[in-house]
Structure 1
Amino acid sequence: MKLNIDKLRLKWKVFAFIFGFCTLLIMILWLFQTVFLDSFYRVVKILEVKKNVNIIANNIDNKNVSDLIASISGDGETYIEISSLEGTNVVSSSNTKYKISLQDKITMISKAKDSNNDFYQEIIDSPPEKPTGNKNFIGELPPINMPPQGLTENKNFVQELPPANMKPAQSLMYLKLVKNSSGKTIAVFINAVVSPLDATVKTLRYQLYLVTGIMLILSVLLALIIAKRISRPIEEINKSAKQLASGNYDIHFNGKGFLEISELSNTLNTAAVELNKAEALRRELLANISHDLRTPLSLIYSYAEMIHDFPDEITPDQTQVIMDETQRLKTLVNDVLDISKLESGMQRLSLSKYNFTYSVKTTTERIAELVKKNVYSISFVHDKEVFICADETKITQALYNLLINAINYTGEDKIITVRQIASNGIVKIEVTDTGDGITPENLPYIWDRYYKVDKKHKRAIIGTGLGLSIVKKVIELHGGNYGVESQVGSGSTFWFELKTDKLS
């Protein structure tokens, strides 16, 4: 059965990745400590020999070069010799165990010259060591009458012979040709032993068995702890998010442990608060629209029933009420359709250049005439005529809605001022009323549909209550700015800005 990793829980995914990473590290450790150890050792040995040769070459004219050679060859496994190409002026290390034969030196110099290089190196198998006069040489028993050092008369002498399968040592013979201060070519020879690492590799292998077992156990424990620590807050957030999706907007997210989880928790808390507000606005919208629909329908039905029951007592006022309420219903339905089209992107702009100042003046005068009988005073203030390129119908609708909003909420003096300000290619329209004003905490929400500051829905004098939402969408479609400035007790100023035509 094929395992789908996308369906694994986060905890087990994290565990798998961490455990896999630890396993990969162990494999790399095995490779570098066993398989590649001999190769690395050779590379390091070659680099060390080259470094020593360069040090000697740089001090070829130094009178203390013999001391330098002695310090470099102090371990006894390195033979160093300095001589001229004719074989004179020899300076060499005191340990001659790995001395380079004359034939090898001649061959190395010849090969270096043939290849036009100032150096030559070669790794060769060293011949087995031959016993010397030293009676303590490994493999040869000392005389019977001379007990080994450290053994008593009651102890038997035990001599460990070298393994039969032990590989012979190899040596790195290196030559570098340098010129001294007299311009004479000098040869620097080094013969360094490259010891076999079979015993070292075997020791490391046993150590790695133990280290691998410990690392596997620790990696499993560490992977489980980290996976649980990472997944627990996410699982808790997931549970809370499911409650949020089911409609419980009062849920609170408590994400801790990591910065990203904490930020996610705060973001979801903010989303829950906003969804709660949106749900409250939705209920209020439905209640307010139901109220605005029910009132004219009730009036229409009541007057129609009266006309039906008393056909001989019909008056013009009764039929006017029916006509007015029908018109109000029509306007409400049209506004709802308009804002739905604007929000869905179905409404397209019909752009054209027109006299913006004249359009604003005409709309203001038309509204002023409409509410003149209710003693409203609407004035328009401007300093010059401005032309813009926009959809005149929709801009006029936006201005109309701002005027209707001002009429519904202006003060007892019923004074409304429309002001045009044009500068730097921008024209700004301000509609100022003298009402009660809006508190700062309510300002961000007044552009929402049917949002009421006092939360008590009242029937507008004229309009449908959707005006500010339509203003917002229309100005956004034109790429303009909009806003409101208000002080409690001093009225409000609603405004929007548009770009003027370049030639105006």
Structure 2
Amino acid sequence: MKYLNHISFKIGLIFFVIMIDLEGFIIYFLHQNIVKERVKDEFNSLLLRGNSHRDVLEQYNDAKTIHHVAVMESKSDLIVIVLTKSKKNIISSSPLDQEMRKIVAKPIGKVTHKGKIIESDWEDKKYIASVSPFKDGYVYMFKNTSQVQQLISQMNHHFWIAGLLAFGITLVMIILLSHILTRPLINMKEATKKITKGDLSVEIPVNSKDELGQLADSIRTLAREWNHLRRERSEFLASISHELRTPLTYIKGYADIARKNSHADNGTYLNIIYEEANKLSDMIKNLFDLAKMDRNSFQIQKQNFPLLPMLEQIEHKLSPAFQNKNVTLTVRCKKNILLLADPIRFEQVIINLLDNAYKYSEPHSHIHLNVKKEEGIWKLIIKDNGKGIPKEDLPYIFERFYRVDKSRTRSLGGTGLGLAIVKEIIEAHGWEIHAYSQEGVGTTMEIWLQGGDIIEETAARR
């Protein structure tokens, strides 16, 4: 009974019923038409035989010819009777029995020179019969229906064999077809069952590009993405616990030192505590922003503003830190450019990218910020000649808590959330960000702006 719930059985049963009904109808239709045609051929053959004798008797109506006709049919499976107009027997190829006499006694009605079939009930009567008139009488032809019935019986026997063969072939084909169709579905069911139990290492073979193949590929992709998300969640929890634990350890440790050494100069300790508290505050703010982005409640308030003054304002904010490290920041941007963007979020993006470039640049190095149009695309490019990013790390730098510096030193700081937030903000604007880097040479960050979000005022006036 359990097997009745299998989808392969259900699909196979449906296909089987449909195919058997279709084959049954086709075989029945063919049988009926072939039987009708075969019986019709028997009637036509009988009538043509009678008309042939009639034609001979019309030309040579003598006793010798009549006798020759009777002798000729006595050697066949047909019976011929020649009667006068008053239906008196002239000659017959076989003695008349009661059934023949009944047929001959029936009124034939109006009959043309072509003759006609006067008894056609081959299923219930003993004979089928035809009559062909000539000028001096009638030629009756008889054929025993047992011969016709035997012919039809043989035909029915062949149809039964064909039907059984069709039944068997259909059954085998349906079993194979249902297996072929349902095997991928069963594989997908087993795969989803494993996924629900937490086993995400599922592989479903995709052997076709139809809907079943696309569904299998979707399930496989879902398992991979889910597995990736689960790993990301584990890494996220591990990272956030580490990132929160480190500043808390500093705060607790230096607060304890300051508490125990009440007569010492605690300015240094308080500065460290203040610095680590700021890091915690920044981290919580970043986590809050990412949470809002994940809930799609992160609002972008776009407005037009001159781009160069914004960049100069950012440069002025960062100049003390850059000067302290002897790092030169160069900004190149046309004066007549208006940008459609959220100014607060745009400033956050640029400061974050410049801060990263600053941290990983050596003293007396250069950082360039350039806004220009290349191949029809407006690009904001930030380029440094710092230590660069290893090739194996480059694809992952925009992931949350991913850090190229695995040592997490306090000198470089950071939480691994900055670039993730940058990417989210840029994508929320409909822009793109691309990173290019080479170790020992430097890193280039390119923001590809939408064409409609940047306007050259002089071009617009024209």
| TM-score, normalised relative to structure 2 | 0.69
1:137-190 residue CA offsets vs partner (Å, 9 max, x unmatched): 533489xxxxx9xxxxxxxxx9x98852667789xxxxxxxxxxxxxxxxxxxx
Larger RCO, structures 1/2 (Cα 8 Å, 6+ apart): 1
Answer yes or no: is 1:473 the counterpart of 2:413: no
Counterpart contact for 2:388–2:442, Cα < 8 Å: yes
Answer yes or no: is 1:485 the counterpart of 2:436: yes
> What is the match of residue 9 of structure 2?
12
* 1:139 aligned residue (79, 92, 95): 79
Alignment of 1:251-266 (within 5 A): 251-253=201-203, 255=205
In the TM superposition, residue 9 of structure 1 has moved relative to its aligned partner by 2.3
Pick which of 492-501 and 450-459 moved more: 450-459
CA distance in 1 between counterparts of 2:338 and 2:166 reads 78
Answer yes or no: is 1:347 the counterpart of 2:298: yes
Residues 204 and 298 (structure 1 numbering): CA distance in 2 closer, same or farther, change over 3 Å? Answer: same
Instruction: Return 5+ residue gaps in structure 1 as ranges.
Output: 46-73, 79-93, 99-130, 143-147, 149-157, 171-195
In structure 1, the residue corresponding to 2:194 is in which secondary structure?
Answer: helix
Counterpart contact for 1:358–1:385, Cα < 8 Å: no
* 2:358 aligned residue (392, 397, 407): 407
> What is the match of residue 322 of structure 1?
273
Residues 304 and 456 (structure 1 numbering): CA distance in 2 closer, same or farther, change over 3 Å? Answer: closer
CA distance in 2 between counterparts of 1:40 and 1:433 reads 94
Answer yes or no: is 1:338 the counterpart of 2:289: yes
> What is the match of residue 168 of structure 2?
217
Counterpart contact for 2:387–2:442, Cα < 8 Å: yes
Letter of the structure 1 residue corresponding to residue 394 of structure 2? L
In the TM superposition, residue 371 of structure 1 has moved relative to its aligned partner by 4.4
Letter of the structure 1 residue corresponding to residue 257 of structure 2? M
In the TM superposition, residue 263 of structure 1 has moved relative to its aligned partner by 6.7
Alignment of 1:332-481 (within 5 A): 332-411=283-362, 413-422=364-373, 426-453=377-404, 455-459=406-410, 461-481=412-432
CA distance in 1 between counterparts of 2:351 and 2:17 reads 68
1:402-448 residue CA offsets vs partner (Å, 9 max, x unmatched): 12222233346553221111468753211112234335554332221
> What is the match of residue 25 of structure 1?
22
In structure 2, the residue corresponding to 1:432 is in which secondary structure?
Answer: strand
Residues 97 and 307 (structure 1 numbering): CA distance in 2 closer, same or farther, change over 3 Å? Answer: farther
In the TM superposition, residue 359 of structure 1 has moved relative to its aligned partner by 0.8
In the TM superposition, residue 264 of structure 1 has moved relative to its aligned partner by 6.1
RMSD of aligned alpha carbons: 4.4
In structure 1, the residue corresponding to 2:400 is in which secondary structure?
Answer: coil
CA distance in 2 between counterparts of 1:387 and 1:357 reads 9
Counterpart contact for 1:234–1:255, Cα < 8 Å: no
In structure 1, the residue corresponding to 2:69 is in which secondary structure?
Answer: coil
1:181-209 residue CA offsets vs partner (Å, 9 max, x unmatched): xxxxxxxxxxxxxxx9x867665444332
> What is the match of residue 142 of structure 2?
none
Alignment of 1:286-325 (within 5 A): 286-325=237-276
In the TM superposition, residue 454 of structure 1 has moved relative to its aligned partner by 6.0
Pick which of 11-20 and 308-317 moved more: 308-317
Counterpart contact for 2:378–2:448, Cα < 8 Å: yes
Letter of the structure 1 residue corresponding to residue 14 of structure 2? F
CA distance in 1 between counterparts of 2:260 and 2:362 reads 42
Letter of the structure 1 residue corresponding to residue 254 of structure 2? Y
CA distance in 2 between counterparts of 1:436 and 1:392 reads 30
Instruction: Return 5+ residue gaps in structure 2 as ranges.
Output: 56-65, 83-92, 101-118, 132-144, 458-462
Alignment of 1:234-253 (within 5 A): 234-249=185-200, 251-253=201-203
In the TM superposition, residue 33 of structure 1 has moved relative to its aligned partner by 1.5
Residues 308 and 452 (structure 1 numbering): CA distance in 2 closer, same or farther, change over 3 Å? Answer: closer
1:236-278 residue CA offsets vs partner (Å, 9 max, x unmatched): 45334433443334x3525276565677666655555554444
In structure 2, the residue corresponding to 1:484 is in which secondary structure?
Answer: strand
Residues 317 and 488 (structure 1 numbering): CA distance in 2 closer, same or farther, change over 3 Å? Answer: closer
Letter of the structure 1 residue corresponding to residue 167 of structure 2? L
CA distance in 1 between counterparts of 2:303 and 2:424 reads 19
Residues 264 and 455 (structure 1 numbering): CA distance in 2 closer, same or farther, change over 3 Å? Answer: farther
CA distance in 2 between counterparts of 1:34 and 1:273 reads 58
Counterpart contact for 1:253–1:265, Cα < 8 Å: no
Residues 501 and 222 (structure 1 numbering): CA distance in 2 closer, same or farther, change over 3 Å? Answer: closer
CA distance in 1 between counterparts of 2:152 and 2:242 reads 90
In the TM superposition, residue 352 of structure 1 has moved relative to its aligned partner by 1.2
In the TM superposition, residue 481 of structure 1 has moved relative to its aligned partner by 1.9
CA distance in 1 between counterparts of 2:67 and 2:349 reads 114
1:269-302 residue CA offsets vs partner (Å, 9 max, x unmatched): 5555554444433333322222221121122222
Letter of the structure 2 residue corresponding to residue 461 of structure 1? L
| TM-score, normalised relative to structure 1 | 0.64
CA distance in 1 between counterparts of 2:298 and 2:130 reads 90
CA distance in 2 between counterparts of 1:460 and 1:16 reads 72
CA distance in 2 between counterparts of 1:258 and 1:469 reads 38
Letter of the structure 2 residue corresponding to residue 134 of structure 1? V
